[in-house]
């Protein structure tokens, strides 16, 4: 299963241009044999709370229509980063996934809103304009079950564990860490979730743009179930390809039985 991590220089302020750029890069990934192309969080919207409504779209909107028709044309899966989704008065940070036939396979609304205020560092309040989702998201492919969450969601280990317990062997995370939290936690978090859940993790960020109001860390990466970093971008726009053999998750789980050795008579994580 070949995955393309598309670290875009998006969020230019021109939504149409950002969508066109994403489509151009997905075509490039398809030509390189990608089965699944993954875009960053808010790939066609500046990552600013004040921008979310004006760049937002309802179900079936412009960005979704473009990705859906491209996945059908190219016959590949697209994990469509995220876009501001408008529903009534509400705005969600939503990731859509399309199958090889262009049909929407999954919709994940970011469950944990990114509200942080780090002394001397990053402040951001998604809850100023966004509403949280309330679903845990997994989806089926011919390769097996996949998990999906967005950026800050991935800091919550229970969510990752629940996706793994549903059978996910790859967790896809469109994301946009920043220059405060990225150097401190990004790699650590992807390796940690991979080791804990003995699965692959794939995080895709926007490229770093020093003149943006929110400077994304970049460093899109894929990690294997042993915690090894398989591929990693820098700060620049780029596409990295990684070939994942999902039987590696079974093999690691057999050799080091973490998931199966849980003492569910003593403790349990379960969906409510």
Ligand X SMILES: NC(=O)CC(=O)C(=O)O
Distance CA(131)–CA(117), nearest Å, equals 19
Query: Measured from the CB atom, is 191 or 253 closer to ligand X?
Result: 191
Query: Measured from the CB atom, is 155 or 248 closer to ligand X?
Result: 155
44 part of the active site: no
Catalytic-labelled residue, pool 110, 126, 199, 233: 110
Vertex 115 angle, CA 110 and 215, to 5°: 90
For 77, phi then psi, to 5°, come to -80, 145
Q: Is 181 in the site for ligand X (CB under 6 A)?
A: yes
Strand partners, 96: 107
Catalytic-labelled residue, pool 23, 151, 199, 233: 151
Q: Kindly tell me which residue out of 76, 160, 176, 221 binds ligand X, with binding defined by CB under 6 A.
A: 176
Mask of contacts with ligand X, 152-171, x by CB under 6 A?
x--x----------------
16 part of the active site: no
Mask of contacts with ligand X, 107-146, x by CB under 6 A?
-------x--------------------------------
Query: Measured from the CB atom, is 11 or 99 closer to ligand X?
Result: 11
Look up residue 115 and give its DSSP letter: E
41 part of the active site: yes
Catalytic-labelled residue, pool 23, 25, 41, 169: 41
135-157 as b/e: b if 16+ CB within 10 A: ebbbbebebebbbbbbbbbbbee
Distance CA(150)–CA(113), nearest Å, equals 10
- Please check whether residue 147 is in contact with residue 137, taking contact to mean a CB–CB distance below 8 angstroms: yes
The residues binding ligand X (CB under 6 A) are 114, 151-152, 155, 176-178, 181
Q: Which residues are catalytic?
A: 41, 110, 151
């Amino acid at each position: 299963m070949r995955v393309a991590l598309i670290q875009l220089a998006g969020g230019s302020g021109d939504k149409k241009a950002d969508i066109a750029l994403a489509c151009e890069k997905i075509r490039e990934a398809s030509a390189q044999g990608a089965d699944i192309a993954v875009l960053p969080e808010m790939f066609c919207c500046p990552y600013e709370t004040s921008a979310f409504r004006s760049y937002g779209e309802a179900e079936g909107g412009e960005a979704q229509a473009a990705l859906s028709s491209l996945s059908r044309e190219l016959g590949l899966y697209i994990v469509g980063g995220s876009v501001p989704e408008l529903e009534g008065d509400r705005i969600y940070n939503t990731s859509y996934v399309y199958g090889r036939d262009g049909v929407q396979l999954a919709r994940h609304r970011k469950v944990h809103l990114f509200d942080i205020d780090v002394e001397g560092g990053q402040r951001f309040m998604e809850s100023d304009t966004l509403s949280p989702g309330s679903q845990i998201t997994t989806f089926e492919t011919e390769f097996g079950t996949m998990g999906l969450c967005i950026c800050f969601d991935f800091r919550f280990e229970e969510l990752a564990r629940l996706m793994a317990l549903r059978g996910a062997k790859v967790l896809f995370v469109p994301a946009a860490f920043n220059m405060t939290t990225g150097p401190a936690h990004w790699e650590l978090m992807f390796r940690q979730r991979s080791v804990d859940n003995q699965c692959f993790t794939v995080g895709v960020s926007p490229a770093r743009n020093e003149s943006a109001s929110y400077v994304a860390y970049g460093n899109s990466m894929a990690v294997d179930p042993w915690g090894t970093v398989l591929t990693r971008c820098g700060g620049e726009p780029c596409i990295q390809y990684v070939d994942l053999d999902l039987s590696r998750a079974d093999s690691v789980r057999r050799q080091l039985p973490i998931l199966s050795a849980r003492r569910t008579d003593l403790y349990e994580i379960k969906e409510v």
